[in-house]
Amino acid sequence: MPQSQASQFRNRANVGLLALAFIVILATSVVSVRSINALRESIGWVTHTMEVKDELAALQFALGDMEIAGLRFMIDGKADHRNELVGNVEDIGKRIERLGELVVDNHQHRIQIDALEADHRILVERASTSIAIKDADMAKGDDRAAIRRVRDGKGERIVDRMRASIQQMLGTEDALLKQRQADHDVLVKQTNATLLIANGLALFAGLIGFFALRRAQRESENTLLLQLRAAQAHRASEEKSAFLANMSHEIRTPMNAIFGFAQLLADHVNEPLQREWVASIRKSGQVLLTLINDVLDLSKIEAGKLQLNPQGTDIGELVEETLSLFVAMADAKGITLEAHIVRKDMVPVAVDAPRLRQILMNLISNAVKYTERGGVTVGIEMQPSMLGGHDLRILVEDTGTGIDPDELSNIFEPFHQAASLDGRSRQGTGLGLSVTRLLVQLMQGRIDVASTPGKGSRFQVDLPSLPPADAVAPNLADAFADAVDFDRLPPLRILIADDVDWNVEVARGYLRGSHHEIAIARDGEEALAAARAFRPDVVLMDLRMPRMNGYRATEAIRADALAGDARIVAVTASSLMDDQGPTQVRFDGYVRKPYAPAELLAVLIALFGERSGAPSHAAAGSGSPAAVDTEAASNRAADAPADVASTPADERRNEAIAEWNAVRAAPLEAMRTRMRMREIGEFSRRLDALAETIGDPRLQEEARLLRVAVQRFDVNRMKAVLDRLATHSDGPAQAAEDDDAQ
């Protein structure tokens, strides 16, 4: 139907209005985009000014710290004050350089930066000269030259000049900040005015555009605000990481001495009470080290710096080893500690074994701590995953006090420790479960908890799709834990480079009495000189040392024609940053303080192997049936009377009797002392075969009882069976041997 002229006019008017609205919106959009860009640029300049002011304030603090450190050093001449003075001078130089980068386009600031750099060079020279003067005074026992140096006022005038330059720059930046904030306010007002005018002209379209632009503006401002907050959070995280790394180093250094000297003392103390005191020192140190590790692990994970290191792992063996650490604690409380592991379902999988052990230790430790009656059961289930690999489930159940329902949602929070329902006070920092949850999440797993007050708790950890592993990675430190004999190595020339006397004495104490030749260096420069003169086979290199740190010393030794063949093992107390990654590239080995003799031996054997003719670890008393002297058994059979005819069955029986007699001597005693689950499990299976060959029903029954105790992780029953086996000298086995002898 033909439209009327009025309708056509209205349509044309609507089209015109829409076109006008579109043009207005388009023009408004262009203006708004420019305004927002100008606003973003304005915010950027404001942020830049704040950064310059922050750096200037930090430089002022650094100058104050340098003055304090310099005065302390000139008074007492201590090495740590010297190091602090040198570090502050270097920090001042770095901050001046950073300021130069920030104000590179500001000619007025460049003049001040040049003045600061010139004064800093004078500071560096004066600090070096002051150190030399103080060292000379200390050598002479006369402080007059150092006092004159302090009183001459030259250093104070240099610092005053630098502070004056800083104040001038601060004044300039304050003026710039006010100007830029005013410009920012004007830009905000102009943007708002543009939007309002456009909305009035464009009516409904303008309103839509107004709301859209306002939303875009808010999003832009929020994004900028989030970026600023993210930058501040990142800087705070870096500062926290640096602080924790430094604190870790400062704490671990004396901890290395505590652990090391306690280890050395334990080897020389025989009186029971004194040995108990030494054990208490080591346990207390371990509690402190656990706290440090928990705090650092929490910070690592939150900062996204903790990397997993999957390797082939026997889950059953790992669980048994972990449980063995809590046997004494459970026995002392009179509670049971059992493991339910379906061995036939266990296959090696690739998982970060130390971190999985940490998860187990935290859960088992809590279960034992809060259980006063009954016991703790650890269940391990493994089954093929539909997504490939194997799903692992860990269940830790206890009959302890349980957890209040109101507390269940908070137990995984850092530093939160649920109140004991039985009213008892228990030690703890509230970090263990927090670290456990974060580690499980890092492994793409899940942890759940169910608890009934007064009846106990049940923690369940599910780790999905663990990839299969062809072989189980060996743990060298564990393999040598009970056989720390540095003479198993070929004779070595060992250079110990460390500026802390405690650490030097610990390392030297570990190596004392061995056939190795030892040399000492107190810093990186001494290490380089000693490496040239001593020609070491290996250098135990501390990383934080005065004058020249371990990294620079390593590079210098590597580049030296006389000492470049030496192997270098990094020995460091740093923990927060992932030191092991870069040090594995730079160094031939790595040991973290505090370290045990077994860890050092493991690293050295990995580098140099065992000397020719050294007894193997198994032969050195592992206690397993494989270590039985089969030659002695053969000699026993050969000593039988030649005129007595023996059948193959008799020969096998005689060999079994000889092997049993050999096993129940030193190897059995070693097993009773060590109480290793895997070792006892292998022994129970071998004992069953020996008893069957000998034809001793009582021995067969003991083998069966031992096997059942291992499956249930019943340590008390295992100990009782081993004790009976140690006195199993009569009965059919002995009688049969006596008959053969006749």
Residue 106 banded pLDDT, cuts 50, 70, 90: confident
Least confident of 27-31, 417-421, 634-638: 634-638
Span 634-642, average pLDDT: 37
How far apart, in whole angstroms, are the C-alpha atoms of residue 286 and residue 395? Answer: 26
Residue 228, token pair as written in the block: 């600023």
Q: Does 515 score more than 90 pLDDT?
A: yes
Residues 454 and 491 in one domain: no
Q: Is the sign of the CA dihedral 49, 52, 54, 60 positive or negative?
A: negative
Pick the last residue of a domain from 441, 466, 491. 466
Residue 514's SS3 state is: coil
Quote the percentage of the chain above a pLDDT of 70: 73
- In degrees, rounded to 5, the angle at the alpha carbon of residue 401 between the alpha carbons of residues 461 and 439 is 25
CA distance 40 to 379: 58
Q: Name the DSSP class of 237.
A: H
pLDDT band at 579 (very low <50, low <70, confident <90, very high): very low
pLDDT at 496: 94
Residue 603: inside a domain: no
Calculate Rg over the CA atoms of the chain: 37
CB neighbour class for 31 (10 Å; exposed up to 12, middle 13-18, buried from 19): middle
Q: How confident is the model at residue 25 (pLDDT cuts 50, 70, 90)?
A: low
For residue 206, count other CB atoms closer than 10 A to its CB.
21
**CA–CA separation, 723 and 70 (whole Å):** 67
Q: State how far the Cα of 88 lies from the Cα of 501, in Å rounded to an integer.
A: 25
User: How far apart are the C-alpha atoms of 146 and 137, rounded to whole Å?
Assistant: 7
Q: Which residues of 32-71 are buried (b: 16+ CB within 10 A; e: fewer)?
A: beebbebbeebbebbebbeebbebbeebbebbebbeebbe
Residue 32 shares a structural domain with residue 128: yes
Query: pLDDT, tens digit, for every residue of 247-257?
Result: 666 777 777 77
User: Is the CB of residue 337 less than 8 Å from the CB of residue 375?
Assistant: yes
Give the containing element (helix H, strand E) for 570: strand 567-572
pLDDT of residue 622: 35
Evaluate whether residue 76 is within a structural domain.
Answer: yes
Give this prediction's pTM. 0.47
Intra-chain end-to-end CA distance of the chain, in Å: 132
Q: What is the pLDDT of residue 739?
A: 38
Q: What is the pLDDT of residue 650?
A: 72
User: Residues 404, 496: one domain?
Assistant: no
Question: What local confidence, expressed as pLDDT, does residue 621 receive?
Answer: 36
Distance from the Cα of residue 338 to its chain's centroid:
29
List residues bridging with 541 in a β-sheet. 497, 570
> Which of 180-189, 346-355, 538-547, 645-654 is predicted with the least confidence, judged by mean pLDDT?
645-654
Q: What is the pLDDT of residue 647?
A: 58
Domain that holds residue 730: 625-741
On whether both 458 and 510 belong to a single domain, the answer is no
CATH number at 360 reads: 3.30.565.10
Q: Identify the three-state secondary structure at position 408.
A: coil
With residue 539 as reference, give the H or E element that holds it.
strand 538-542
* Cα–Cα distance measured from residue 593 to residue 605, given in angstroms and rounded to the nearest whole number: 19
Average pLDDT over residues 358-376: 89
Residue 637, in any domain of the structure: yes
**Bigger pLDDT: 614 vs 169:** 169
**In terms of domains, do 78 and 176 share one?**
yes
- Band of residue 96 on the pLDDT scale cut at 50, 70, 90: confident
Does residue 282 lie in a domain region?
no
What pLDDT, in 10s, does the model give residues 668-718?
777 777 666 667 877 887 888 888 888 888 888 888 888 777 766 666 677
Which pairing describes strands 375-384 and 336-341: parallel, antiparallel, or unpaired?
parallel
- The pLDDT value recorded for residue 203 is 59
More confident residue, 520 or 191: 520
pLDDT of amino acid 126: 85
Q: In what order do the strands lie in the sheet with 517-521?
A: 517-521, 493-497, 538-542, 567-572, 589-592
Q: Which of 264-268, 382-386, 467-471 reaches the highest mean pLDDT?
A: 382-386
Give the residue with greater pLDDT, 656 vs 710: 656
Say whether both 636 and 585 belong to one domain: no
| Gap between the Cα atoms of 113 and 129, Å rounded | 24
Q: Is the peptide bond before 615 cis (omega within 30 degrees of 0)?
A: no
**pLDDT score recorded for residue 446:** 93
> For residue 554, what is the domain's CATH number?
3.40.50.2300
Helix, strand or coil, per DSSP, at residue 536: coil
**pLDDT at residue 495 greater than cutoff 60:** yes
Are 421 and 402 in contact by the 8 Å Cβ rule? The answer is yes
| Cα 140–Cα 145–Cα 147 angle in degrees, nearest 5 | 120
Cα–Cα dist 551/547, whole Å: 12
Question: In 406-549, which residue ranges form alpha helices assigned H by DSSP?
Answer: 432-442, 476-479, 501-511, 524-534
Per the prediction, the chain carries an average pLDDT of 76
Do 362 and 430 lie in a common domain?
Answer: yes
Work out the pLDDT band at 463, boundaries 50, 70, 90. Answer: very high
Nearest to 569 by CA among 471, 655, 495, 667: 495
Of 240, 255, 283, which marks where a domain is finished? 240
Lowest-confidence range among 173-187, 451-465, 540-554, 579-593? Answer: 579-593
Outline where 370-474 has alpha helix (H). 432-442
Q: Which residues of 512-534 are buried (b: 16+ CB within 10 A; e: fewer)?
A: eebebebbbbbbbbbbbebbeeb
3-state secondary structure 290-307: HHHHHHHHHHHHHCCCCC
* Six-digit token string for 350: 């690739």
Residues 57 and 148 in one domain: yes
279 in any annotated domain = no
Predicted local distance difference test score (pLDDT) of residue 396:
94
Q: What is the dihedral of CA 528, 530, 533, 539, to 10 degrees?
A: -80
Q: Does residue 569 fall inside a structural domain?
A: yes
Instruction: Flag whether pLDDT at 517 surpasses 90.
Output: yes
Q: Span 650-662, mean pLDDT?
A: 78
Q: Where are the beta strands (DSSP E) in 302-455?
A: 311-313, 336-341, 349-351, 375-384, 390-398, 446-452
For range 140-146, the mean pLDDT: 82
What is the CA angle 62-64-69, rounded to 5? 90
Domain assignment present for residue 295? The answer is no
The pLDDT of residue 494 is 95
53 is a domain residue: yes
728 and 653 in a common domain: yes
Domain boundary among 212, 240, 268: 240
Residues 451 and 365 both lie in one domain: yes
- Return the higher-pLDDT residue of 38 and 208: 38
Same domain assignment for residues 187 and 318: no
* Cα within 13 Å of Cα(357), Cβ side: 16
Question: Lowest-confidence range among 46-50, 516-520, 532-536, 630-634?
Answer: 630-634
Return the pLDDT at 741: 39
Per-residue pLDDT at 290 exceeds 60:
yes
217 with 82, same domain?
Answer: yes
Interval 299-321: pLDDT, tens: 667 666 677 878 888 888 888 87
Residue 176 has pLDDT above 50, yes or no: yes
Q: How many domains does the chain have?
A: 4
Higher-scoring residue by pLDDT: 567, 144 = 567
Higher pLDDT, 517 or 479: 517
Question: What torsion, rounded to 10 degrees, do the Cα atoms 547, 553, 557, 558 define?
Answer: -150
Other Cβ atoms within 10 Å of 2 Cβ, number = 6
Closest alpha carbon to 301 in 312, 313, 293: 293
Bridge partners of 493? 517
